[in-house]
Structure 1
Amino acid sequence: MAVTAQHVESLFAGEGSGHDWWHIRRVWQNALQIGKKEQADLMVVQLGALLHDIADWKFHHGDEEAGPKAAQEWLRSHNAPQELINKVCQIVREVTFKGAGVDTTPSTLEGKVVQDADRLDAIGAIGIGRAFAYGGHKGREMYHPNQAPQLHASFEEYKKNQAPTLNHFYEKLFLLKDRINTVAGQEMAQERHQYMQQFVQQFLQEWHGPEEAPAAFHLETNHPQAGVKTA
């Protein structure tokens, strides 16, 4: 495990889009915590967490198989059993969010644990920071009042999305609380979700004034998707 952690740290140290070593380390630690509570296979969980972003499609021209291939190559180079390789690569393949209209529930308990840990790092205070770091990395506006969020019906639509960063909260981040797989993960998600809601409400009030935010961006209820256009 330590060798894999060192390898991943060497690949992602100093990365500036929010998909850096510290993100991976937090996912690893959260996955370990959730995995213990859920009685998952902790070897599979830890390797899946450490390798979940080893070749993210977002940085490999949309190639969904780049991650599983890179994970497989690394594990094979260290003579891991094929059964273990298969389980870890399945996690890497299934972990990603693919759009509001796409079911991405992992097929194994270990996959659910890693996906939950990854999604927890996408929400809350750190999730906010990571969202704007990625938006800046991609040259996106923070917000555009005339560009409403879209709830993407397919992964292809989601991949093509170039919307401002604030839209990402409606298109993905606000959806994650209700898509956490494990009881342990759900408990951790509640406070983070509420913090994001408060942040976006404050952002919009500072931008527009409290009475002038567009209807699609109001957060008047616990259902922040209200008023958002579907794809």
Structure 2
Amino acid sequence: MNEIEILQKTQEFIFKGFTGEGTGHDYFHIERVVKVAKRIAREEDADLFLVELAAWLHDVGDYKLHGGVDKSSELITEFLSELNVSQEIIYKTISIVSQVSFSKGKTAESLEAQIVQDADRLDAIGAIGLARVFAYGGSKEREIWNPENPEMTTVQHFYDKLLKLKDLMNTNSARKIAEERHQYLEEFLGRFYKEWEGHY
């Protein structure tokens, strides 16, 4: 099976497994991450096949979608082995995926891991990131905002994660995209608080 066929089978696998997922980690999130990762990979002269493969698989087995248990290594190995992908590529793919998640706090080591991490983080900010954070908060039955008890609200997640992402981008290509998307979040929060206080 050549690289094009492997990527096609991987896309089909992700479409089947993630279509209709309701926390903001659905098929279309993954597809957007793939598109941005490919764009950055071309600009940064990275291994395009490895970047695209890892980007398609970056949410497979994620602990958020498996009751707090990380199954990514197990499920990715099983899937790619069925396609007769080499052990070297499987190892590299799992290594990249293990470094993507914000909550794991890992530093992306290879250029390819940096790119997939950047692409995933870019999808968490800007207009779509804004929509995703409220979708995820709703799926966890969180309040939108509660100034008396902000810790477990969706708006608090902006401060815990989203507003930090701009300064955590690895590549120059991602930093340029992040600047505008970050600004959008800042503008939204300004308007949100004004409306909350009845000033709009």
TM-score under structure 1 length normalisation: 0.81
What root-mean-square deviation, in Å, do the aligned CA atoms of Structure 1 and Structure 2 show?
A: 1.2
After superposition, where does 1:32-43 map in structure 2 within 5 Å? 32-43=38-49
Letter of the 1:181 partner, please give it. Answer: N
Unpaired runs of 5+ residues, structure 1, are 150-162, 211-231
Q: Secondary structure at the match of 1:31?
A: helix
Pairing partner for 2:188 from 195, 199, 206: 199
Letter of the 2:134 partner, please give it. Answer: F
Pairing partner for 1:31 from 37, 40, 44: 37
1:176 maps onto 2:178 in alignment: no
After superposition, where does 1:152-231 map in structure 2 within 5 Å? 163-209=152-198
2-structure distance, mates of 1:15, 1:178? 29
Q: Which residue of 1 aligns with 2:68?
A: 62
1-structure distance, mates of 2:10, 2:103? 27
Letter of the 1:95 partner, please give it. Answer: V
Q: Which residue of 1 aligns with 2:50?
A: 44
User: Shift in Å at residue 208 of structure 1?
Assistant: 2.0
1:128 maps onto 2:134 in alignment: no
Letter of the 2:175 partner, please give it. Answer: Q
1:92 maps onto 2:81 in alignment: no
Pairing partner for 1:2 from 2, 8, 13: 8
* Deviation digits for residues 111-154 of structure 1 (CA, Å, limit 9, x no counterpart): 000000000000000000000000001111111112345xxxxx
User: Shift in Å at residue 107 of structure 1?
Assistant: 1.4
Letter of the 2:146 partner, please give it. Answer: H
User: Shift in Å at residue 69 of structure 1?
Assistant: 1.6
Q: Secondary structure at the match of 1:98?
A: coil
Q: Which residue of 1 aligns with 2:4?
A: none
Larger helix proportion of the pair: 2
Q: How many residues align?
A: 193
Q: Secondary structure at the match of 2:61?
A: coil
Q: Secondary structure at the match of 2:59?
A: coil
After superposition, where does 1:7-26 map in structure 2 within 5 Å? 7-26=13-32
Instruction: Give the % identical residues.
Output: 46
Letter of the 2:15 partner, please give it. Answer: E
2-structure distance, mates of 1:68, 1:188? 30
Letter of the 1:89 partner, please give it. Answer: I
2-structure distance, mates of 1:53, 1:83? 20
Q: Secondary structure at the match of 1:107?
A: coil
* Deviation digits for residues 56-105 of structure 1 (CA, Å, limit 9, x no counterpart): 111212223x1122111111111101110011001111100127xx4x22
Q: Secondary structure at the match of 2:124?
A: coil
